[in-house]
Amino acid sequence: MNQLDKNSYTLFLNSTDKVSGTNNNANYDVNWDDFLPRDIDNYKVVFSFQTAGGYYRDNFSQFKVTALTAPVQCTYQTSAIIYNPITNSTSLLISVLTNGPLFLNSNVLYGGKSYLITQQANAVGDTLIVQGYLPVPLNTTLYAEFYTQLTCDTVNGYTGSLSVGQAINNNGKSYPVLKITNLGNTATLVIVMGVIYSAQIPINSVVYASNNSTYNGCKIVANFLGQSKSFDTSSKCPSLTLGYGFRDVQISTSNSNCLSTFYMQNTPKTIQRPNQNLINIQIYNNSNVYTNGSLIQNQFLVNTDYFSNPLADMTSYSMIIEFIPLVKQ
């Protein structure tokens, strides 16, 4: 007997029919007794999934560099250090600061190692916090990463979404953006971590920046409020994941990009017959989502606007879920 010869039961579900929640975290009222036999305990679940069109545009920006300053290296001294083993971070009281500030998401250097700055220090008397144990000597000149200031035109020919946490990419190298002033101006000031000279980025050249947030896949989680014969290595318990969807080939200027999965594209899942009518379905971005330079895991999937800015919710979607009875032989 092949798959099409088996008797099965099908649920047609559309996000516009949710009783509460958002498209990416929706609750549905399904009366299982209307179509699912009560005398069968277990079912094999197979599904297909399709979103309505959206931009779902990977984060980027493009603009012209009109001037560069000479690279600058900040130096500092500390009069006190405190290590916190719980957070694995070191606090340093700044007593001397030259060419500051010590920018958030930049690095300080010591002993041939780099330490990420998680709390910025702007002036003498501020507390600098870095990731990890930093056993620096007191009242000794210490060094941070170089930074370079770019003057950019974010008016003429500017596209995309420029923000702190992105990185300017040029000739295979990346320079994280630490500060932006006067965005949307012909003289926007962008400070990046690293050493850049005009020979590397010639004046009036167009550069590209990205923060690595992508929208090429989603994870579909369905809580049927019953036993799931599965296991998740992340949660160390039975998995609520139903499967995964994938974005079609992205056309960056189009508002018709979709995420979808075809019938049998995911491995069928065995579940116990649902016994409560209210079910929850969540859609997560299964790719990278960065906020202020930090990778944030387990974020709900959202659509973007034309300029890659994230919106509040994803587009609507439709699902077809097939329940195939598993009868004891």
DSSP string, 45-63: EEEEEEEPPB--PPP-EEE
State the chain's mean pLDDT as an integer. Answer: 90
| Residue pLDDT, tens place only, 41-50 | 999 999 999 9
| Rg value, the chain, Cα | 26
What does the pLDDT read at residue 61? 84
What does the pLDDT read at residue 165? 79
What does the pLDDT read at residue 291? 61
User: Taking residues 100-127, what's their average pLDDT?
Assistant: 96
Q: What are the start-end ranges of the E strands in 224-272?
A: 241-247, 259-261, 269-272
pLDDT band at 323 (very low <50, low <70, confident <90, very high): very high
Q: What are the structure tokens assigned to 264, written together?
A: 């049998």
What does the pLDDT read at residue 1? 44
Q: Are 94 and 123 in contact (CB under 8 A)?
A: yes
Collapse the DSSP code of 23 into the 3-class scheme (helix H, G, I; strand E, B; otherwise coil) and give the result.
Answer: coil
In the chain the first and final C-alpha atoms are separated, in Å, by: 15
Whether the ω angle into residue 101 lies within 30 degrees of 0, i.e. cis, is yes
Of 17-26, 132-141, 239-248, minimum mean pLDDT range: 239-248
The half-sphere exposure of 283 on its side-chain side, counting CA atoms within 13 A, is 28
Q: Between 1 and 211, where is the model more confident?
A: 211
User: Taking residues 110-127, what's their average pLDDT?
Assistant: 96
Q: Between 289 and 291, where is the model more confident?
A: 289
**Neighbouring C-beta atoms of residue 224, cutoff 10 Å:** 24
Q: Are 167 and 176 in contact (CB under 8 A)?
A: yes
What does the pLDDT read at residue 3? 57
Q: What are the structure tokens assigned to 313, written together?
A: 């919710």
3-state secondary structure 290-327: EECCEECCCCECCCECCCCCECCCCCCEEEEEEEEEEC
Collapse the DSSP code of 109 into the 3-class scheme (helix H, G, I; strand E, B; otherwise coil) and give the result.
Answer: strand
| Residue pLDDT, tens place only, 238-254 | 888 999 999 887 676 67
- Is the predicted pLDDT of residue 2 greater than 70, yes or no? no
- Residue reference for tokens 């649920």: 11
Distance CA 287, CA 298 (A): 9
Element (H, E) at 167: strand 167-170
- Is the predicted pLDDT of residue 91 greater than 70, yes or no? yes
What does the pLDDT read at residue 306? 79
- Residue reference for tokens 């080939």: 249
Has this prediction a pTM greater than 0.85?
A: no
